[in-house]
Amino acid sequence: MSTVNVVNTKNESVGEIELNDEVFNREVKEYVLHEVVRMQRAARRSGNACTKTRVEVSGGGRKPWKQKGTGRARAGSRTSPVWRGGGVAFGPKPRDYSFKVNRKVRQQAVAMALSARFQEGNLIVMDDFSLETIKTKDFVGVMGVLDVQNGLIITNDASENLTKSSRNVNGYKVLSSEGLNVYDILLHKKVILVQPVIESLEKRLMA
């Protein structure tokens, strides 16, 4: 078990908590992180490039000219890909770029990403992180006290005040524990865990 200080919004130590090494201090394998991030980014690709084939372009209802006797090459339709305004041969069509990575591997990757932040000293545990009002200034003030310029805040149930106070500030993101993923952990320099979320994370990532 690894031990980490628990702080409040004033960055004052209010206790300690033990973290399960299987989740927060395990060996980090970069190729596993790479595979899962690649899966996440591929799933976000819209794949909406689309060209029209010769069947889809307008026109082509009649033969441009008769088959023989004109001295020109045979032509059956104005929608042929070799004609200006014709269809596109082998052009892109909407497609799904996503691929599957096993659930166990995804779980391991999340634990490895958290472990990487812990081993770097960039994992912060807070006893509570709630704001009385929706006010960006208050959120920025807490981040300044914690010395976090770029951070991911993970809570069990992200409050509306916290979410709305942070959404207009670049470099920060608030996530519930269910939405935690490798890409967001690696995208942010520091990870802030609100203490109640640790137990649910350990249960989820060790299942």
Tens-place pLDDT, residues 87-116: 999 999 999 999 999 999 999 999 999 999
User: Which candidate, 42, 40, 52, places its Cα nearest to that of 96?
Assistant: 42
What tokens were used for 116? 């990487």
- Residue 131: the pLDDT is 86
Average of pLDDT values for 127-150?
A: 91
Report the alpha-carbon distance of residue 156 to residue 131 in Å, rounded. 15
Q: Tokens 């310029």 identify what position?
A: 149
CA Rg, the chain, in Å? 27
Write down all domains in the chain, each with its CATH number in brackets.
2-45+101-205 (3.40.1370.10), 47-96 (no CATH)
User: Which candidate, 200, 188, 41, 197, places its Cα nearest to that of 116?
Assistant: 188
**3-state class (DSSP) for residue 44:** helix
Report the alpha-carbon distance of residue 170 to residue 50 in Å, rounded. 34
- Residue 178: the pLDDT is 87
Q: Does residue 130 have a pLDDT over 80?
A: yes
CB environment 109-118: b (16+ within 10 A), e (fewer): bbbbbbbbbb
Q: Does residue 170 have a pLDDT over 80?
A: yes
User: Which candidate, 38, 204, 44, places its Cα nearest to that of 114?
Assistant: 204
